[in-house]
Chains A and B, each alone.
Chain A
Amino acid sequence: MVDKDQNKGHTEEPENASRRDFLKKSGYAAGGVAGGLVLGGLFGQFDTAEEGANSDQVEQLQNARTFFKRREDFETLAYASERIYPEDENGPGAIKLGVPYFIDKQLAGYYGYNAKTYMKGPFQPQKSGEYGLQTKLNRGEVFLHGLRKMQEVSQKDFGSKFAELEGEQQDEILRKFEANEIKLKGVQSSIFFELLRQTTIEGVYSDPVYGGNKDMQGWKMIEYPGPRMGWANEIDAEEFLSKEPMSLKEYQGGNL
């Protein structure tokens, strides 16, 4: 696994030098996900170029789109989530943490299909926000509507794909959705934005078993130690205790 020795505090860059160089050269680390990189290449590099055939490969095999059919939708999602939680000197951003795959997996399950949500009509989608989610669309459909509209706005305003815009331009589009200035069918654009923002953060900080928080790097950045039996012996400690994180898998006792 990566970065056993590379994460001593949240100010430290948790990536190894060569990858950092690669990122800088590719224009990724500077100024957002700028210019010309196609996602396939980007993910391809991240997934295979340096880590090679180590234990990470299993995890990689688990990272493929199962909800998003069109690659373009997934690309837009990935670059949007990266603007919400960008890579910086503290550590990786949404893409490297696996957040797009996290969201894909969430949408492929009961959450995306609103299986535990009351879904009987009549619907008043315009009352969403005031009364929580009121759309007839399920969350997966909300994402598809929103992401495709982002693409459309991107072409219209800047003449190119969302994924290929400068970070600032991407932010401009996201802010329009956040402020509900874009019209979507069946849902407010601000509701879509909130879902995007919420699931991005969840992908950064939830247990790696869900596909994000790659190698617990989200937890390392925020110095969160993960699940433990308990803290009965440390609960009254005066000093802040920074601990190496433990995953749910390890907490549950590893493999059967």
Chain B
Amino acid sequence: MATKLDKVDVVVVGVGWAGGIISAEMAKAGKNVVALERGEHRERSDYIGQKDELKYDSRYEIMQPLSSDTVTSRSELDETALPIRTREQMQLGFDVGGASVHWAGATYRYWPYDFEMRSKTIERYGEDKIPEDMNLQDWGITYEEMEPYYDKWEKMAGISGEQDPLAPKRKNEWPNPPLKETPALKLFKDATSNLGLHPFQIAAGNMSQNYTNPDGQTLNACMYCSFCTRHGCDFSAKSDPLATVVPTALEHDNFELRTRAYVRRVLYDGGNKQATGVMYVDEETGEEFEQPADVVVLSAFAFTNNRLLMLSGIGEQYDPETRKGIIGRNFNGQYNSAFHGARGYFKNKRFNLYMGAGALGAAVNDYAADNFDHSDLDFIGGGAIELRQYGDAAIKSNYIVPSDTPRWGKKFKENSLFYAYRGLHIWYTSTVMSYWHNYLDLDPNYTDEFGDPLLRATYKFGDNERNIGKFGVEKCREIMEEMGADIVEEDALPEEFDHVYAGGHYTGGVVMGDDPETSAVNNYLQMWDVDNLFVVGGSAFPQFGSHHPTPTIGALAYRAAEGIEKYMNEGGQLAKAKTKSHKA
């Protein structure tokens, strides 16, 4: 039997950006908060002296071990899904800070178009532009409404950037100036300028200078140490929860962080439509606990957010056969349809590519969102074209070779030694749409260490993913040619989803909107059905916007925190449901 604990005001499940922000805001507001995190407590000293490519980049040491649970995957409705067993193929955040510690830091706001993709597409191109099988939806919030939350997140995180010439004019400057420019970035900027495009330095969650955020947390200038993405920062120079919102929350006695606490259920009173708390297991003793709370916040990343609702029987499970139900619907994310482009190899030039930082890079947004005319194109949406300089170590550098290189043996060795630091890759961070046939539910065959079903993902590309991919590759080739590479190669586009969950951009399933028939949460991320349950994170994305997701997750978390306070003061639903204005 579970031990019942004393009731608190707010219980938060999972402590990455989303859970960290809610924790900090609720703690500052004087609420009694307990945050439950399945992994261990982490601090900066865990990352000192850890610049080790094998451990972190090849073995994914910072990611969730999959020995207990993973996600199962399939493409077709009549297939048996298989569990994704290794961390090469399933990368999930773990420990305090979650994936928000090992993210790279590339920071973009979504565009006004991204939030109103359905309305604005119809407005400009007519309803016929939207394919039958696509569940294209507005977010129930506009860019204008999101702007103050973006601003708040960027200041808390200390983002280093410059105004993107095509983006809406910023009300406030980025809190820090952009990172340094390297020869590779300059080459990209010059080439794209020559082509009439509008390059800028990517905004970065790596500090360009020492910075103190509005909560009083201090971050240090980035060292360009190269062990950044997939690693924790040992200099507190990366915008991450461990350097910001977690210490802010911990400054308050009314906040408690419990680690190795694996949440298995939301306790739900179906009669009153109220969440009454959560049930979790202490992973160090195996003991079960019930933590009652007035407000329950799920911020355990898209997959767990979906799974916990399903395991707890909250909301109606989406069924693709009938196309009814909400939870698990509009599962999306950037998998292997995105991040293709062109590679260039420079025979007479070597770049210092072993140096870098997670978000060091340059981009153009001429082909993002609806910044270009789609009238004659066979897709909607867009993305940035980026050149990134992460800082590659030796194993990674060794694989950067022209495609006619054999995969092993003498010639492989020769080419990999010659081409190291001579290869640049630019890619398109393209939109991903949602379709009626892509969804999440509970797997009928595979279970976790407690015998609970794993989450099952059913996912395949739509035509939009294939067509936008082709477009992106062509544009990237033009740029790479202008950059003057001796060998220019287009990336091969995949036929189908490859069941690799790398890069952490997995979203949807508990989506936001203004219509309870097509969304699970309102624009405060409060569940339509359950007033005191907030589901925060990328799970709220109805489809994937033009860019990396995290700033939007952070901004939505600030929005949700405001909503939780409002709910605690006033009660009830915070947003009005609108009757549906479009087909379900």
Contact = CB atoms under 8 A, between A and B. Distances in A.
Contacts of A93: 413
A170 to B, nearest CB: 10
B181 A219 contact: no
Contacts of B408: 83-85, 174, 197, 200
B352 A222 contact: no
Interface string B428-453: 00000000000000000111000000
Interface string B356-393: 10001000000000000000000000000000000101
A134 B85 contact: yes
B87 interface: yes
A232 B222 CA distance: 8
Q: How large is the interface on A (under 10, 10 to 19, 20 to 34, 35 or more residues)?
A: 35 or more
A119 B85 contact: yes
A236 B180 contact: yes
B contacts with A: majority SS: loop
Contacts of B350: 240
Interface stretch (A17-25, A123-131, A144-152): A123-131
A116 B67 CA distance: 5
Interface in A100-127: 111, 115-120, 122, 124, 127
Given A171-B409, A224-B397, A231-B224, A132 B445 contact: no
Interface residues of B, number: 65
A230 B224 contact: yes
A206 B51 contact: no
A220 to B, nearest CB: 10
A235 B390 CA distance: 12
B269 interface: no
A62 interface: no
Given A132-B499, A134-B85, A228-B225, A238 B395 contact: no
A197 B360 CA distance: 31
A120 B446 contact: yes
A66 to B, nearest CB: 18
A170 B352 CA distance: 37
Interface in A167-211: 171, 174, 178, 197, 200-202, 204-207, 210
A229 to B, nearest CB: 6
Contacts of A83: 408-409
B54 A222 contact: no
B407 interface: yes
Given A117-B85, A132-B86, A236-B181, A210 B222 contact: no
B67 A115 contact: yes
Given A131-B82, A132-B85, A134-B82, A10 B224 contact: no
A111 B58 CA distance: 11
B500 A205 contact: no
A252 interface: yes
A252 B49 CA distance: 5
Contacts of A252: 49
A241 interface: yes
A204 B67 CA distance: 28
Interface string B498-541: 11100000000000000000000000000000000000000000
A221 interface: yes
Contacts of A130: 498-499
A200 B399 CA distance: 13
A143 to B, nearest CB: 16
Contact of B84 (A10, A132, A238): A132
A27 interface: no
B70 to A, nearest CB: 4
Interface stretch (B38-46, B307-315, B414-422): B414-422
B142 interface: no
Interface string B47-63: 00101111000110000
B197 interface: no
B85 A240 contact: no
A10 B65 contact: no
A205 B221 CA distance: 29
Contacts of B130: none
B352 A240 contact: yes
Nearest to B70: A118
B225 A229 contact: yes
Given A88-B413, A132-B500, A222-B397, A240 B224 contact: no
Nearest to B399: A201
B394 A218 contact: yes
Given A84-B409, A131-B84, A207-B53, 19 more contacts: A84-B408, A86-B410, A88-B413, A88-B414, A90-B413, A93-B413, A131-B73, A132-B85, A202-B54, A202-B58, A205-B394, A205-B398, A206-B52, A224-B354, A228-B51, A230-B223, A232-B221, A235-B224, A236-B183
13 contacts: A84-B408, A86-B413, A88-B410, A88-B413, A90-B417, A116-B65, A116-B66, A118-B69, A178-B407, A201-B398, A202-B395, A227-B51, A251-B49
Interface of B: 49, 51-54, 58-59, 65-70, 73, 82-89, 180-183, 221-227, 235, 350-352, 354-356, 360, 391, 393-395, 397-399, 407-410, 412-414, 416-417, 420-421, 445-447, 498-500
